[in-house]
Amino acid sequence: MRVNLVNPNTTLSMTEKIAAAARAVAAPGTEIRAVSPAMGPVSIEGAYDEAFCVPGLLEEIAKAEELGFDGHIVACFDDPGLDAARQLARAPVVGIAEAAMHLATLVAGSFTIVTTLSRAVPTIEQLTRKYGFVHHCRKVRAAEFPVLALEEPGSRARDLLRAEIARAIAEDRCEAIILGCAGMADLARDLAAEFGLPVIDGVAAAIKLVEAVVGLGLRTSKIGAFAPPLPKPYTGAFARFAPR
Ligand code: 5HY
């Protein structure tokens, strides 16, 4: 099968890291196209960045749909534009936050999510409500470093993340940790070994869930929430995005 993996921010080093994490767990027959949009924020840290990552994300979803891809992944822990992407696509579309939460509940009675900055916490808390995991999620924590610190060799990001995970285990009674940023995708295995509990990366979770959904022959339902957008003109710079 062919999977379209979109990192909605435009930092190519993060896209490459995410792609490597996905390919490390993908099944032998799974081919992965890993891309960033041609336009948009270098990192997504809050609702304003999130709003401006969506047009470029949707452009990449539309391209892969034209090419007949079997599944899509939105590789940002805000799951930005996920419902809009599902309106565009016939192939299943999986967000890494939703995927991580589903996987976590299969191996643990509760989880804490550890993300980057505090400003990301309300969005992720809203996702736990939207997806129905509010009773499983003990807390959404921020280790307080910017997203791109994960791309800087020698930054304190990993130490800050480890310290916040230690606090989560000591204070939250959580039984698993979810890494709340796609840029943490390369850290899950080592952190699980260090702390002795399941540490779930949404990128790996999403790849396996897309493989499962595609393998069952399931495609996005087109009656209701994910029906295609109605044809209408869009004006100005968005004219090219108009649904036809
Ligand atoms: C992400 N931001 O996964 C989110 C998560 C965050 O650029 N990729 C981003 O840390 O807010």
Domains and CATH numbers, the chain: 2-95+204-241 (3.40.50.12500), 97-201 (3.40.50.12500)
Spans of the chain, pLDDT less than 50: none
Please report the pLDDT score of residue 225 as a whole number. 97
Please report the pLDDT score of residue 127 as a whole number. 98
Mean predicted lDDT score pLDDT of the chain: 98
Please report the pLDDT score of residue 68 as a whole number. 98
77 close to ligand 1 (CB < 6 Angstrom): yes
Please report the pLDDT score of residue 15 as a whole number. 98
Q: How far is the CA of 232 from the centre of ligand 1 (A)?
A: 32
Residue nearest ligand 1's atom 2 by CA: 44
Please report the pLDDT score of residue 115 as a whole number. 98
Cα-based torsion angle of the residue sequence 112, 115, 118, 122 in order, rounded to the nearest 10 degrees: -60
9 close to ligand 1 (CB < 6 Angstrom): yes
pLDDT tens across 184-196, in order? 999 999 999 999 9
Q: How far is the CA of 91 from the centre of ligand 1 (A)?
A: 24
Q: b or e along 93-115 (b: 16 or more beta carbons within 10 Å of the residue's beta carbon)?
A: bbbbbbbbbbbbbeebebbbbbb
36 close to ligand 1 (CB < 6 Angstrom): no
Residue nearest ligand 1's atom 9 by CA: 44
Closest ligand 1 atom number to CA of residue 53: 7
pLDDT tens across 154-170, in order? 999 999 999 999 999 99
This prediction's pTM: 0.97
SS3 content of the chain, % helix, strand, coil (to 5): 50, 15, 40
